[in-house]
Structure 1
Amino acid sequence: MEPEARSDNLEEALGQALRLIESAVTHHRRGVLASATAELPVDGEVVAGWVARLVLRAQRDVIWSLPEVTCEDHARLVAQTLAQLSGKGVRIRMLCPPRVIRGVMWQRTVGTVPRLEVRVCGSARQELVVVDGAAVIAPERSPGDPGGSRASMIQNSTVAAMLHRLLCGMWDTAQRPMRPLSFEGGARGRVLREVLTLMAEGYKDDAAARKLGLSVRTYRRYVADIMRDLNVESRFQAGVRAVRAGLMEAERD
């Protein structure tokens, strides 16, 4: 099996395992784990603020699965929390879907935090924070609900250790953000994405150049830039890596 395929399979397996554990935690939230789980049934900004206070207890390591940045205030609060952790010397790792790190809110806030380690992971669908490998913070949000209605801190050592291992496993298989393309905006960024799309669709250089209104020489220069930035040796590899990194998705703020 090709290395890219093995990595995809491992990431998907880890994602499935994570979803099973999340489901089990939710199901037993008022049962087996109740004595080890602190819950706060509040809404909106209060949930986000409570989560931030719990995260700030970290002394060594935080690994954070963040599937979305819901609004400017949410982005600023996350950024402020991470900046304080960074100032304490805490190692911070963030797992996010590609669209999150390409968003304007991320780039203006979270993306500016020093010493923040970020990797792209499509399996990051539930917000979870593991603090020092010993406590799990799990905000609950309904689809489309930007505030959420509850957050929990799970201090059950078995659950915390299991989720920590799973998030670390997802981290190990996730892609590093491809800054030259994924963070680039403006006219050049749009052209790069259009070139990537035509490469993926198998256009010949002359046909693709005509479609984009470029000279063949200019088009080939864009192709060379893309292959260099993605650190690949073939156009096929460039397409695979771009899809995995989410560069082929439509841009969203």
Structure 2
Amino acid sequence: MRSDNLEQALGEALRLLESAVHHHRRSVLASATAELPVAGEAVAGWVARLVLRAERDVIWSLPEVTCEEHARLIAQTLTQLAGKGVRTRMLCPPRVIREAAWQRSVGAVERLDIRVCDGVRQELVVVDGSAVIAPDASPGEPGGSRASMIQNSTVADMLHQLLCGMWDTAQRPMRPLSFEGGARGRVLREVLTLMAEGYKDDAAARKLGLSVRTYRRYVADIMRDLKVESRFQAGVRAVRAGLMEPDGD
């Protein structure tokens, strides 16, 4: 099975299990559902405390970072997990790791083990393969307005296997230094766009107001950073990694 088809199948299976998690909240596991744990505490903080109970392994799907506070909490949690020697893997859509809040906080965490996947649509954390933490999405609330901790071994095991499957098919983020933003980042994305549209070097250079030599140097830098051998491959990998999206700043 091709990796694109496998990723699609895993994404569909994950959506089904997310539905199961939702139904668990409404039925036999309703007692495991937590509203804001204490007055005024954001769910993101409660989730962080639960995640820090991990002893061996955490796999975390994160569809968005809602604000600076959310990003800082995640960064602090990841740093503490690393200090405990807990293996932590994080799955995000490509756009998330390009956001300013992410880059200022989470992106600064050393040795962060992350992969990008468009199929990530709900925040789920599987701790030591035996418990699932599932915050509810809620605009304006860092981490949502409530969360569940599910310790049903069957649900936890299935979600753990699915997230691991998505991890295996997800992409490693491209080298970020050339694409962080600023004037150089904008020019590189413009060059990538023209490469993807099949422009010849001289026509592309004229369109961007560059010399052909300078334009080719940008092309060479892009191909080196993306570790590809052809311009077509560069365009494909850049699209998959979200590098051709506009800056979010």
User: How does the TM-score come out when normalised to structure 2?
Assistant: 0.93
Out of 135, 157, 163, the position equivalent to 2:153 is 157
The answer as to 2:61 corresponding to 1:40 is no
Cα 1:182–1:90 change in 2 (3 A) is farther
Q: Deviations over 1:64-103 (max 9, x none)?
A: 1111111111111111111111110111111111111111
Q: 1:50 aligns with which of 38, 46, 49?
A: 46
Per the alignment, in what secondary structure is the counterpart of residue 17 of structure 1?
helix
Give yes or no for the alignment of 1:228 onto 2:224. yes
Kept in 2, the 8 Å contact 1:135–1:154? The answer is yes
- The CA deviation string for residues 10-32 of structure 1, in whole angstroms up to 9 with x for no partner, is 11111111011101210232224
Q: 2:76 aligns with which of 72, 80, 86?
A: 80
Q: 1:1-253, aligned counterparts within 5 Å? A: 6-34=2-30, 38-42=32-36, 45-142=41-138, 144-147=139-142, 148-180=144-176, 183-253=179-249
Using structure 1 for the length normalisation, give the TM-score. Answer: 0.92
The structural deviation recorded for 1:181 is 5.7
Q: Separation in 2 of the partners of 1:136 and 1:11?
A: 21
Local SS of the residue matching 1:116: coil
Distance 1:181 1:99 in 2: 16
Instruction: Return closer, same or farther for 1:125/1:176 CA change in 2, 3 Å cut-off.
Output: same
Q: Is the 8 A contact 1:134 1:155 kept in 2?
A: yes
- What runs of 5+ residues in structure 1 fail to find an aligned partner? none
**Any idea what the Cα deviations from partners look like across 1:88-136, whole Å, max 9, x if unmatched?**
0111111111111111211111112223201111111100001011100
What is the CA–CA distance in structure 2 between the aligned matches of 1:15 and 1:54, rounded to whole Å?
25
C-alpha deviation, 1:217, in angstroms: 1.1
Counterpart Cα distance in 1 of 2:117 and 2:212: 35
Deviations 1:25-80 (A, max 9, x none): 1023222444xx62111287421111011000000111111111111111111111
**Structure 2: how far apart are the matches of 1:73 and 1:171?**
26
Unaligned runs of at least 5 residues, structure 2: none
Distance 1:167 1:28 in 2: 19
Shift of 1:218: 0.9
Q: Answer yes or no: is the 8 Å Cα contact 2:201–2:216 preserved in 1.
A: yes
Structure 2: distance between partners of 1:182 and 1:26: 41
Aligned residues: 246
Q: Does the aligned pair in 2 maintain the 1:181–1:247 contact within 8 Å?
A: no
Are the aligned partners of 1:182 and 1:247 in contact in 2 as well (CA < 8 Å)?
A: no
Contact 1:51/1:137, CA 8 A, preserved across alignment: yes
Distance, in Å, in 2 between the alignment partners of 1:237 and 1:192 is 15
Contact 2:42 2:141 in 1 (8 A): no
Identity over the aligned pairs, expressed in percent? 83
